[in-house]
Amino acid sequence: MSERVIEPTPYAFPPSDDFKESERHFLGHLFVIPNIEFIEGWLYGIFKKRYNQSLNYIDQSGKHHYHENEFKKKTYELSGDEESFINEGGLENDINELFNSFHFCLRKYHLFFKNRNDLDLVKSFYRCIYYLNGHDSFSIYKEGEVIENNLNWNVLLNPIKRNTDELIKELDWRINRLNPNNYHNYNPNDKELERYFDFIVHETIKLYSKKSFDLNVGEIHKELVPLFFHENTSVEDLHLLFSGKSEILSSPLVWVSNANSLSYFLRKLHENNKLMKSNYFQIAEKLIADEQLSLFKSLKNNRSIPNNASDLDKIVELF
Same domain? 230 vs 92? no
Cα–Cα distances in angstroms (integers) from residue 10 to residues 13, 96, 104, 121, in the given order: 10, 16, 10, 22
Is residue 282 one of the residues assigned to a domain? yes
Q: Judge contact between 135 and 164, C-beta under 8 A.
A: no
**Roughly what angle, to the nearest 10 degrees, separates helices 118-132 and 92-113?**
160
The number of domains in the chain is: 2
The tens place of each residue's pLDDT in the chain, 319 residues long, gives 444 444 444 445 566 788 988 998 899 899 999 888 889 999 998 888 776 655 455 555 555 454 544 556 688 889 899 999 999 999 999 999 999 999 999 999 999 999 889 888 988 998 899 899 888 777 888 888 999 999 999 999 999 999 999 999 999 999 888 877 665 555 556 677 777 777 888 899 999 999 999 999 999 999 999 999 999 899 989 999 999 988 888 788 999 999 999 999 999 999 999 998 889 999 999 999 999 888 999 999 988 999 999 999 999 999 9
Look at residues 266, 268, 290 and name the one whose alpha carbon lies nearest to residue 280: 266
Residues 51 and 135 in one domain: yes
Structural domain ending residue among the three candidates 176, 199, 222: 199
Q: Are residues 223 and 314 in the same domain?
A: yes
Residues 50 and 173 in one domain: yes
Q: Does residue 43 share a domain with residue 192?
A: yes
Full-model pTM: 0.69
Find the domain containing 255 and state its range: 202-318
Task: Tell me, yes or no, whether 171 and 259 share the same domain.
Answer: no
Residues 6 or more apart whose Cβ sits within 8 Å of residue 33:
98, 99, 102, 132, 167
Q: What 3-state class would DSSP assign to 293? A: coil
Per-residue pLDDT of 139-191, as tens digits, reads 888 888 999 999 999 999 999 999 999 999 999 999 888 877 665 555 556 67
- Whether residue 206 sits in one domain with residue 273: yes
The verdict on 187 and 216 lying in the same domain is no
**Identity of residue 171:** L
Evaluate whether residue 206 is within a structural domain.
yes
Same domain as 250, residue 173: no
The answer to whether residue 252 sits within a structural domain is yes
Considering the domain architecture, whether residues 66 and 142 belong to the same structural domain is answered as: yes
Domain boundary among 166, 199, 232: 199
